[in-house]
Structure 1
Amino acid sequence: MEVSLSLKYIPILITALIVFVIGLAMVIINQILGPKRPYAEKYLAYECGLPPTGETRHRFDIKFYAIAILFAVFDVEAVFLYPWAITFDQIGFFAYVEMVVFIALLLVAYFYAWIRGGFQWD
């Protein structure tokens, strides 16, 4: 006896509906029953229990963003490399050549960032 494809997903849909209803109920109940006593300290930025100091909006140096982007690029490499390594015996020589090209391009990007001083913190 075969179960149709749409019937297999009914438990997932029911679970998603229950999660949505519970989340919505929590928000509505909090709005109805929760205390409503606003005061100035409640709206201050939280600084690990310390009173906030200085201006909350200040500019960060671009090197922090550049390092974050470089980290993301080389982290994505690992995401692509893992499934490739797991299925290496099934995908053949062409996929091996493609991965060599992919790693070569990433190495070029790595050395370019290194030469341009992308990894310097000073």
Structure 2
Amino acid sequence: MTKRLVRFDGGDGVDNYVNQYVVVAIFIFLGILLPAAALTVGRLLRPHKPNDPKRTTYESGNEPVGEGQVRFNIRYYIFALMFVIFDVETVFLYPWAVAYNKLGLFVLVEMFIFAAMLFIGLLYAWKKKVLKWNSV
């Protein structure tokens, strides 16, 4: 016989359902309390000695030279975006590939639709010559 955190007269189903939410509430409470306590203790125990070198942009002792802003070519952004899209596709395809035997034909069709949509997007990017590095 298991111990119950909260007791209701609604039967075992209600008790189990409520107990699951109690566990989630405890984890949320601890997830907020522990970081807040660590930050508070850190703030109370750290030495507070502000001085001019600590307030500068770089604490390494070197004076900053030049501007902090650097312009990047927009093509880096496009390739990074394409990488993220196909990386997310891999994240979605892996669980499907692991559990394919148990899922059936419907999930196979859904995954082909998902892959086809990504392939159509890749063809569109290729047609617009987004993937050519030297194009202007």
TM-score, with normalisation over the residues of structure 2? 0.64
Residue 118 of structure 1 corresponds to: 131
**1:4 aligns to what SS in structure 2?**
helix
Of residues 81-90 and 112-121 in structure 1, the stretch that sits farther from structure 2 once superposed is 112-121
**1:76–1:34 Cα change, 3 Å:** same
Distance of 1:41 and 1:119 partners within structure 2? 47
How far is 1:109 from its partner? 2.1
Query: Which structure carries more relative contact order (alpha carbon 8 Å, separation 6+)?
Result: 1
Residue 67 of structure 1 corresponds to: 79
**1:119–1:90 Cα change, 3 Å:** farther
Which structure 2 segments of 5+ residues have no match?
2-11
**1:36 aligns to what SS in structure 2?**
coil
Alignment match of 2:67 (pick from 35, 39, 55): 55
Contact map agreement 1:67 1:118 (CA 8 A) in 2: yes
- Pair 1:39-2:51 in alignment: yes
Of residues 63-72 and 16-25 in structure 1, the stretch that sits farther from structure 2 once superposed is 16-25
State which structure, 1 or 2, has the greater radius of gyration over its C-alpha atoms: 2
How far is 1:77 from its partner? 0.9
Identity across matched positions, percent: 34
**Alignment length, in residue pairs?**
121
Distance of 2:121 and 2:106 partners within structure 1? 23
Letter of the aligned partner of 2:93 in structure 1? L
Q: How do residues 21-40 of structure 1 correspond to structure 2 at under 5 angstroms?
A: 21-40=33-52
Contact map agreement 2:79 2:131 (CA 8 A) in 1: yes
Letter of the aligned partner of 2:83 in structure 1? F
CA deviations on 1:31-74 (whole Å, 9 max, x unpaired) are: 33322222333244459x58444322333322222122111110
CA RMSD of aligned residues (A): 3.1
Letter of the aligned partner of 1:21 in structure 2? L
Contact map agreement 1:63 1:121 (CA 8 A) in 2: no
**1:43–1:118 Cα change, 3 Å:** farther
TM-score, with normalisation over the residues of structure 1? 0.69
